[in-house]
Structure 1
Amino acid sequence: MYQSLKSDTLPSTPTGPALRPVNDGDQRYDRRAAPTSGLASITPLLVLGWIRRYWFIALGVAFLGTVAGLAAAILIPPRYTSSSDILLDPNDLHLLEDDIYSRAATGESQIIEVESRMRILTSASVLGRVVDTLGLASDPEFVEPGAAVGADARIAALRALGDRVKASREERSYIVTASAWGHTPEQSVILTDAVVNAFLAELAGADAQGASAASAELNQRLLELGNEAAKAETAVVDYRRQHGLSLASNDQLSTQSAVEINVQVDRARQVLIDAEARYAALVSGQTGSDAQGSTTLSELRAEYAVARQKVESLSATLGSRHPTLSAAAAELAALQNEIDNELGRVVEVAQNDLQRARDVFDQLKNVAAAQSTDVFTDETAQLELRQLERTATSAVAIYETYLTRARQTGERSQLNTSTIRVISPAFPPLVRSYPPRTVLLVAGGLFAGLALGLVLAAGLGLLGMLMRPLPKVAIQRR
């Protein structure tokens, strides 16, 4: 069969009248057409013949591929990857009415916030926490012994850890998967848990640090506002003291005094009118008890009327010189004298009361006139005082607002309002993630070696055909 295959590789000798034997000088070799005609004559059967001829090469390369796959499965350090799912909910707990952190309102903003937090998961800050917590800077698996020390060793460990940690997120989902690989299943779980814990601590620390920084700024500003409010209130107190405006109410002291004095003037005027009327009644000789206003005088007049009636009764029955009538007449005269004395005293008292009422009225009129001048003087001072009070009130209101906000911000730094939580913790993987299983590596090496061996066998057969000398072909000249 090999003989038949070899004969197929040679071009057939042309026969017929178109070709004729010629001398060596007339013969021409078709060196250009020969290769073309040789490649065109390759058939599947010819290729199978080549493979059968060099079958040992194909089997040898397949064996080497199998050995290479087995060696790779044995020599390559295994990698075990564990993962943990984290829910990055952008809607934090709303514990305060006016929180210092704004909340994402739209879906796109929430996705951006989730993407940003996912980037924090693999940031140097989070990985640095893991390096410090696990002491990876001194681990020869992450830092070659003697290659770096101190800060350089930490950076080298940070870079090595960064190559092992990955973070991914499914589309239209807030769930982020954090994964890390190690050379043992336990190591991969330790790394994954450390990364997740460092991530949660970093978010909580950043939140608290932001609130603490804001609280510190508010407290610094609070001191300045407190000083300004104290100065404004001191200015109000000093101005009140200087201008005698000591009332806490909005009414002016001078105005209140003027109103009270005017009331007193009206009362004094009424008292003066009553005193003048009483004095005039007494002077005119009116004998009414209301006008005279004396109980003693009324009693004397009543006794005088009884005594007079007695004298008139005795005069009708007795003589003018009768002792009884003379005694009654003397008693009547005594009563008249007492009445005259009492009436004089009442008139004198009324006159004194009238003079006193006039004096009081004149004094109150003078005080009211002076007080009216003070009212206009204090009006200007009151306007300036109200301006100072408005300034002080505004300063105090701003200070109290900042004080309340500073206290809220200080308390906010102690609260963790994050709703981020781990919904799927890391578990030790059952199989390694790299390299593939030994069976797959051996099978892959076998198939790859076999394919390479077949290609190599076919190539050797083709190379042998191309290197074989070509026969001479006589071409008839035209």
Structure 2
Amino acid sequence: MYQSLKPDAAAPQPSAVPLRAVEGAPAATAPKRPGPSPLAGITPFMIIGWVRRFWIVVVVLAVLGALAGYAAGTLIPPRYTSYSDILLDPNDLQLVADDLYTRVAQGEAQLIDVESKMRILSSISVLGRAVDQLDLTQDPEFVDADNASASADDKRIAAVRTLGDRVRVSREERSYVVTTSVWANTPEKSAAITDAVVNAFLIELAAVESDGARNASDALNQRLAELRNDAAKAEGAVVDYRREHGLPATGDGQLSAQTAVQINTQVDTARETLIAAEARYASLTSSTGGSSQESETLAQLRTEYATAKQRADALAATLGPRHPSLATARAEQAALQGEVDQEVARIVEAARIDLQRARDVFDQLSNAAGTQLGSVFSDEQAQLELRQLERTATSTVAIYEAYLTRAQQVAERSQLNTSKVRVISPAMAPIARSYPPRTALLAAGGLVGGLLAGLALAAGLGFLQYLFLTTRPRPTAPPRMRAA
């Protein structure tokens, strides 16, 4: 395989010297000529021979590469990525005729609106909502062991940062469809986090839109406070004028016939109720009329008392006055008598309370009827001034009510979601991992890489050996002694 280096037969011999060579003197040497370059003699067959010579290195590196690829596919934590498509239509719904927001955005403005919404999708507010919804601060995948003992705020910040690194938002050109992707170590968690981020985005987008309406409502409410005070002052002036001049609440200043009839009817009814209450109380307090006003409880107690008295009288006829059975019967009779007395006292007290209440109602209605009848009069000048105050109050109240109606409309508008943003493809748990590639593919890649590295190393070792053999110095023959 290797070419042997032959001595150069055509090398010039040293010229004869007439003098004798001194023993030990160096012999004359011929001048050296530059030899050919070592790289010039390398052929593909030589490289193949070098690889065959060091085939063990090739095999070892190929096996190590395959093992490294298999270990990487087994040991590297997998990443599962789920995707969700969202339609960010910039043309919002117009639910009310006089809406706060205009709907005339076209062309470039629509793309700017879509890009802005994409920025909201990956904002800290949206990610924070998703972290709070799924309680990712307690997930070791998002909060590492170094932050396990940190405060709740620090954990939340760490989880938001980790989630922000995993969220990707993209949009195809000339399209309003935005794709959101999130990766996690399990397929189910990846899909759950993606859905949480999308839902948080929809909530945040509705909140951003409603905040504008809420700010407008706050501005209107500030003006409403002044209008409310003006309206209250105007109405208060009307009421004070009526009170000072004793004017009735009716427009013509006279009590209506219907009001008078109602007052008289109430007074008559109260008088009848008072008469009935007085008769009942008198009947109960009389010595002979109380029995007619007995209640069911009192009648039952009287029946039980009569029965107990008969039993006591029967025992008294047959037994002595100190007999235990007779004493028990007498005690029962006395207890029933006490209950009868208490029930009678209760009925009398209830009748007295009803009588007092009827008197109070009658007196109040009588006083009210007298007051109203005594305050009926007509004062033209007072009515003129009153009508002027009423017109001023009506105008002020009308302005206040207009502002109040608009403020309520704006407040209700803040509760409406007019956005046409829709989730057209909900997140689904991925079937295969997105990173690293499959273990078999990594092992095959490692095998190919190790094989290529082994071939390169084998060729390099062969080249170094060839270079060493071709560039080392050749041994020279010792000088011969010439005869004297």
TM-score (normalizing by structure 1): 0.58
The aligned residue for residue 28 of structure 1 is 32
The aligned residue for residue 51 of structure 2 is 51
The aligned residue for residue 436 of structure 1 is 437
What is the CA-CA distance between 1:212 and the residue it aligns to?
A: 1.3
Q: Which amino acid aligns with 1:195?
A: V
CA contact (8 A) 1:80 1:183 kept: yes
Q: What does 1:278-317 align with in structure 2 at a 5 Å threshold?
A: none
2:110 is aligned with 1:114: no
The aligned residue for residue 98 of structure 2 is 98
What is the CA-CA distance between 1:98 and the residue it aligns to?
A: 3.1
What is the CA-CA distance between 1:447 and the residue it aligns to?
A: 0.4
Q: Distance in 2 between matches of 1:467 and 1:400?
A: 105
Q: What does 1:123-162 align with in structure 2 at a 5 Å threshold?
A: 123-147=123-147, 148-162=150-164
The aligned residue for residue 207 of structure 2 is 205
CA contact (8 A) 1:84 1:177 kept: yes
CA contact (8 A) 1:28 1:472 kept: no
Q: Distance in 2 between matches of 1:78 and 1:143?
A: 17
Q: Which residue, out of 219, 226, 238, partners 1:217? A: 219
Q: Distance in 1 between matches of 2:235 and 2:8?
A: 127
Q: Distance in 1 between matches of 2:53 and 2:172?
A: 55
Q: What does 1:222-241 align with in structure 2 at a 5 Å threshold?
A: 222-224=224-226
Q: Which amino acid aligns with 1:47?
A: I
Q: Distance in 1 between matches of 2:28 and 2:420?
A: 98
Q: What does 1:51-90 align with in structure 2 at a 5 Å threshold?
A: 51-90=51-90
Q: Deviations over 1:411-465 (max 9, x none)?
A: 2111111111111111111111111011110110000000111111111111222
Q: Distance in 2 between matches of 1:21 and 1:231?
A: 138
What is the CA-CA distance between 1:180 and the residue it aligns to?
A: 1.0
Q: Which amino acid aligns with 1:454?
A: L
Q: What does 1:157-168 align with in structure 2 at a 5 Å threshold?
A: 157-168=159-170
CA contact (8 A) 1:29 1:473 kept: no
The aligned residue for residue 192 of structure 1 is 194
Call closer, same or farther: CA 1:13–1:45 in 2, change over 3 Å.
farther
Q: Which amino acid aligns with 1:445?
A: G
Q: Distance in 2 between matches of 1:157 and 1:205?
A: 23
Q: Deviations over 1:269-312 (max 9, x none)?
A: xxxxxxxxxxxxxxxxxxxxxxxxxxxxxxxxxxxxxxxxxxxx
What is the CA-CA distance between 1:115 and the residue it aligns to?
A: 1.0
Call closer, same or farther: CA 1:424–1:25 in 2, change over 3 Å.
same
Call closer, same or farther: CA 1:41–1:231 in 2, change over 3 Å.
farther
CA contact (8 A) 1:13 1:473 kept: no
Q: Which amino acid aligns with 1:92?
A: D
CA contact (8 A) 1:73 1:438 kept: yes
Q: Which residue, out of 172, 175, 182, partners 1:173? A: 175
CA contact (8 A) 1:29 1:472 kept: no
What is the CA-CA distance between 1:99 and the residue it aligns to?
A: 2.3
What is the CA-CA distance between 1:158 and the residue it aligns to?
A: 0.8
Q: Deviations over 1:354-407 (max 9, x none)?
A: xxxxxxxxxxxxxxxxxxxxxxxxxxxxxxxxxxx9xx99x9998677545423
The aligned residue for residue 466 of structure 1 is 467
Q: Which amino acid aligns with 1:7?
A: Q
CA contact (8 A) 2:169 2:180 kept: yes
CA contact (8 A) 1:120 1:199 kept: yes
Q: Distance in 1 between matches of 2:7 and 2:97?
A: 103
% same residue: 58
CA contact (8 A) 1:126 1:198 kept: yes
Call closer, same or farther: CA 1:29–1:88 in 2, change over 3 Å.
same
SS of the residue 2:145 aligns to: coil
SS of the residue 2:68 aligns to: helix
Q: What does 1:340-359 align with in structure 2 at a 5 Å threshold?
A: none
Which segments of 5 or more consecutive residues in structure 1 lack a partner in the other structure? 235-388
What is the CA-CA distance between 1:94 and the residue it aligns to?
A: 0.9
CA contact (8 A) 1:137 1:154 kept: yes
Q: Which amino acid aligns with 1:28?
A: K
Q: Distance in 2 between matches of 1:188 and 1:204?
A: 25
Which segments of 5 or more consecutive residues in structure 2 lack a partner in the other structure? 15-26, 237-390, 477-484
What is the CA-CA distance between 1:41 and the residue it aligns to?
A: 2.6
Q: Distance in 2 between matches of 1:221 and 1:40?
A: 97
2:455 is aligned with 1:454: yes
Call closer, same or farther: CA 1:397–1:29 in 2, change over 3 Å.
farther
The aligned residue for residue 38 of structure 2 is 38
SS of the residue 2:437 aligns to: coil
Q: Distance in 2 between matches of 1:223 and 1:20?
A: 124
Q: Which amino acid aligns with 2:12?
A: R
Q: Which amino acid aligns with 1:199?
A: F
The aligned residue for residue 3 of structure 2 is 7
Q: Distance in 1 between matches of 2:111 and 2:167?
A: 22
CA contact (8 A) 2:66 2:450 kept: yes
Q: Distance in 2 between matches of 1:48 and 1:446?
A: 20
Q: Distance in 2 between matches of 1:120 and 1:430?
A: 29
The aligned residue for residue 386 of structure 1 is none
Call closer, same or farther: CA 1:13–1:413 in 2, change over 3 Å.
farther
CA contact (8 A) 1:80 1:433 kept: yes
Q: Distance in 2 between matches of 1:457 and 1:168?
A: 47
Q: Which amino acid aligns with 1:214?
A: A
Q: Distance in 2 between matches of 1:28 and 1:157?
A: 77
Q: Distance in 2 between matches of 1:165 and 1:21?
A: 85
SS of the residue 1:7 aligns to: coil
TM-score (normalizing by structure 2): 0.57
- Greater CA radius of gyration, 1 or 2? 1
CA contact (8 A) 2:12 2:30 kept: no
Q: Which amino acid aligns with 1:218?
A: L
Q: Distance in 2 between matches of 1:158 and 1:213?
A: 29
Q: Distance in 1 between matches of 2:28 and 2:53?
A: 37
Q: Distance in 1 between matches of 2:201 and 2:400?
A: 38
Q: What does 1:312-461 align with in structure 2 at a 5 Å threshold?
A: 402-461=403-462
Q: Distance in 2 between matches of 1:227 and 1:14?
A: 125
